[in-house]
């Protein structure tokens, strides 16, 4: 079969046009914009090293001494037990807030998805109805994020040791920084691309399957993976197409920002308000994944409406705004 990339995006755009502009309802924009906004929120001890016996301990500073030299005020604060407790408390607070934001974002994914798939602006009802799916997505994201972070740290540490001759360096001067940074970039690139693709497939395909089947994240991956293995090339191209489409949108946005003397740009960076203004774009790309997935057959169609309506969505023949 021929895989289409432009047509599903065009149908997603027509869906957005019908939902947001026909008719235009400011209240609906603010409600769906809120769902889009919360969905987008997704993002002690010290090191001390002793020189081995026989090493030249005074040839240069250790890492701890180097850090103390570079940041003397931070070192003084850390030596104060009350400041140390405060810094640890702030660090723990940041971690807790990060986890809370990830949970809200995971629940918000299904609220926004409900707005797109069911073409409505409800908030409370889908938040409650998709509680199991939202919590499952949160736990899966948290586990995947920790595994990815560990993989990045492990690779970085390995490359760091290798750049110092295969041993833990005595000082910062023992590290070959240029080879280290170049090698680190080459090692990070495949892992980074893989992580980005996993996140893309999760949001664009797995979560719609979760929404349709009311299943967990792992169960939805099991449904999606056979198709992904069969059509891997098509889905890899999909990721590149989404990247190019986003770049095109941002390039088209530059003249609009300049024509408004940067007022539009200032509004777009405001929390919530920016999400409302950006809603036509976020809505279109939220609908794009399900539209792309639907072309692989009825078993992959997550739209709750009949297939005939999917082929000819409301106002599809109307001029695009």
Give residue-wise pLDDT tens across range 115-134. 999 998 889 999 999 999 99
Q: How far apart are CA 133 and CA 215, in angstroms?
A: 6
Other CB atoms within a 10 A radius of the CB of residue 274 amount to: 18
Residue ranges of the domains in the chain? 6-41+61-311
| 3 state SS of 24 | strand
Q: How far apart are CA 175 and CA 164, in angstroms?
A: 5
Q: What tokens appear for 305 in the block?
A: 């409406």
Q: Is the confidence at residue 187, as pLDDT, over 70?
A: yes
pTM, full prediction: 0.78
Question: Among residues 56, 6, 16, which one has the least CA distance to residue 316?
Answer: 16
Phi, psi torsion values for 24, nearest 5 degrees: -75, 125
Q: What is the pLDDT of residue 176?
A: 62
Q: Is the confidence at residue 168, as pLDDT, over 70?
A: no
Q: What is the pLDDT of residue 174?
A: 57
Q: 204-246, pLDDT tens digit by residue?
A: 999 999 999 999 999 999 999 999 999 999 999 999 999 999 9
Q: How far apart are CA 264 and CA 250, in angstroms?
A: 13
Residue 68: which pLDDT band, with cuts at 50, 70 and 90? low
Q: Are 122 and 35 in contact (CB under 8 A)?
A: no
Mean pLDDT over residues 293-319, rounded? 67
**Percent of the chain, pLDDT > 70?**
77
Q: Are 123 and 111 in contact (CB under 8 A)?
A: yes
Q: What tokens appear for 170 in the block?
A: 């005595």
Q: Are 53 and 59 in contact (CB under 8 A)?
A: no
Q: What is the pLDDT of residue 208?
A: 96
Q: How far apart are CA 236 and CA 204, in angstroms?
A: 13
């Amino acid at each position: 079969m021929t895989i289409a990339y432009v047509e599903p995006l065009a149908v997603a755009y027509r869906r957005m046009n019908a939902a947001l502009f026909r008719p235009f309802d400011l209240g609906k924009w603010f409600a769906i914009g809120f769902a889009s906004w919360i969905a987008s929120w997704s993002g002690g001890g010290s090191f001390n090293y002793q020189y081995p016996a026989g090493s030249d301990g005074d040839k240069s500073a250790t890492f701890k001494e180097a850090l103390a030299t570079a940041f003397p005020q931070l070192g003084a604060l850390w030596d104060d037990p009350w400041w140390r407790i405060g810094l640890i408390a702030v660090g723990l607070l940041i971690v807790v807030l990060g986890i809370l934001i990830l949970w809200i974002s995971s629940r918000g994914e299904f609220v926004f998805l409900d707005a797109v798939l069911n073409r409505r602006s409800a908030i409370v009802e889908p938040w409650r109805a998709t509680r199991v799916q939202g919590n499952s997505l949160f736990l899966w994201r948290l586990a995947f994020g920790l595994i990815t972070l560990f993989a990045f740290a492990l690779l970085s540490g390995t490359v760091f040791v290798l750049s110092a001759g295969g041993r833990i360096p005595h000082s910062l001067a023992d590290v070959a920084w240029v080879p280290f940074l170049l090698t680190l970039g080459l090692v990070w690139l495949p892992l980074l691309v893989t992580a980005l693709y996993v996140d893309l497939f999760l949001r664009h395909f797995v979560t719609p399957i979760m929404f349709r089947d009311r299943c967990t994240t792992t169960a939805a991956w099991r449904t999606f993976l056979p198709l992904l293995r069969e059509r891997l090339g098509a889905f890899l191209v999909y990721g590149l197409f989404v990247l190019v489409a986003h770049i095109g949108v941002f390039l088209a946005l530059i003249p609009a920002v300049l024509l408004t003397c940067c007022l539009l740009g200032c509004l777009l960076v405001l929390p919530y308000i920016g999400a409302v203004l950006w809603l036509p774009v976020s809505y279109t790309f939220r609908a794009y994944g399900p539209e792309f997935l639907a072309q692989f057959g009825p078993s992959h169609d997550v739209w709750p409406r009949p297939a005939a309506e999917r082929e000819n969505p409301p106002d599809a023949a109307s001029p695009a705004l």
